[in-house]
Amino acid sequence: MKLENRIALVTGGSSGIGRASSLLFAKEGAKVIVVDLNEDGGKETVRMLMESGGIGAFCKADISKIEDCRRMIEFSEQEFGGLHVLFNNAGIMHSDDGDSVSTREDVWDLTMNINAKGVFLGCKFGIPLIRKSGGGSVINTASFVAHLGAATPQIAYTASKGAVLAMSRELAVIHARENIRVNALSPGPLRTELLMKFLNTEEKKQRRLVHIPMGRFGEAEEMAKAALFLASDDSSYMTGNEFLVDGGITSAYVTPE
């Protein structure tokens, strides 16, 4: 098993990439702390992984709040004795996120607080515990939109994911000699509740799909397998990198038919 005897914390674990990764990490031997503001969904993820023979626990936290992030890391140490894998995955895609003219300041602030500040706070408290535990892997969820202008405007989301990329690179350099690796996972468009709520009409879905060479949305389980690679020793010589898993969308210019 790729994560045997390791402790992993996954934010946004109640659904989507977070749930799929929590289940896969547990299957591969990790003890998993599932973190989410959605208590019912997070506890359901823990129930699912334990029914499959895994070990896990739920911690309710709002990752945009410093005390909640401090507490989730303390919970990891108290519950399982350390931390080896920190998957800063939680994020939002606000339905009112548009261009710079139409997007309200509160939408911008909320998006940046969760998507960028939440990653910073996770690392602020998580990295010292990973160091104390002998080293490990930090995975921060970015997005393909940090590279491309989105066909459907989402200025706050795009900016927040650009911040995650830059932050991941700098943290990787800072901690490279401490047996702590930091990489960003950049998913392409996924068939998850998060994106489907944003692309809430068939027209919006098609405007995104037409740009994907593979012609389909990705699945949360596919991102979980990529996260497992970054979490495990399979990627032991990889840090400061961005792992694009995007159906080819950033590699090709596709014109609408």
The answer for residues whose C-beta is within 8 angstroms of residue 188's C-beta and 6 or more apart is: 144, 212, 218, 244, 245, 246, 247, 248, 249, 250
- CB neighbours of residue 113 within 10 Å: 17
Task: Tell me the C-alpha distance between 241 and 140, whole Å.
Answer: 11
199, 152 contact by CB (below 8 A) = yes
Task: Tell me the C-alpha distance between 207 and 195, whole Å.
Answer: 13
- The distance between the two most distant Cα atoms of the chain, rounded to a whole number of Å, is 56
- What's the CATH architecture for 7-188+219-240? 3-Layer(aba) Sandwich (3.40)
Worst-scoring range by mean pLDDT, 4-18, 34-48, 210-224? 210-224
121, 69 contact by CB (below 8 A) = yes
Q: Which of 80, 108, 157, 229 is catalytic?
A: 157
pLDDT at 149 over 80: no
Quick one: average pLDDT of 220-236?
98
- The answer to whether 237 is a known catalytic residue is no
The answer for residues whose C-beta is within 8 angstroms of residue 6's C-beta and 6 or more apart is: 29, 30, 31, 84, 85, 136, 231
Instruction: Name the residue with higher pLDDT: 41 or 188.
Output: 41
Identity of the residue numbered 98: G
pLDDT tens readout for residues 150-176: 777 899 999 999 999 999 999 999 999
Length of the chain counted residue by residue: 257
Worst-scoring range by mean pLDDT, 8-17, 73-82, 118-127, 194-203? 194-203
Quick one: average pLDDT of 78-105?
96
Query: Which band of pLDDT confidence, cut at 50, 70 and 90, is reported for residue 193?
Result: confident
Pairing of strands 31-36, 136-141: unpaired
Residue whose C-alpha is closest to residue 159's, from 194, 85, 225, 107: 107
Task: Tell me the C-alpha distance between 20 and 219, whole Å.
Answer: 10
Place of tokens 């032991």: 236
Residue whose C-alpha is closest to residue 228's, from 183, 195, 192: 183
Three-class SS of residue 201?
A: coil
Task: Tell me the C-alpha distance between 112 and 201, whole Å.
Answer: 25
Residue whose C-alpha is closest to residue 181's, from 128, 227, 237, 132: 237
Query: Which band of pLDDT confidence, cut at 50, 70 and 90, is reported for residue 254?
Result: low
Per-domain residue ranges of the chain: 7-188+219-240
Residue whose C-alpha is closest to residue 89's, from 126, 55, 129: 126
Mean of the per-residue pLDDT values of the chain: 94
Rounded to two decimals, the pTM is 0.94
Specify the pLDDT at position 83.
99
68, 46 contact by CB (below 8 A) = no
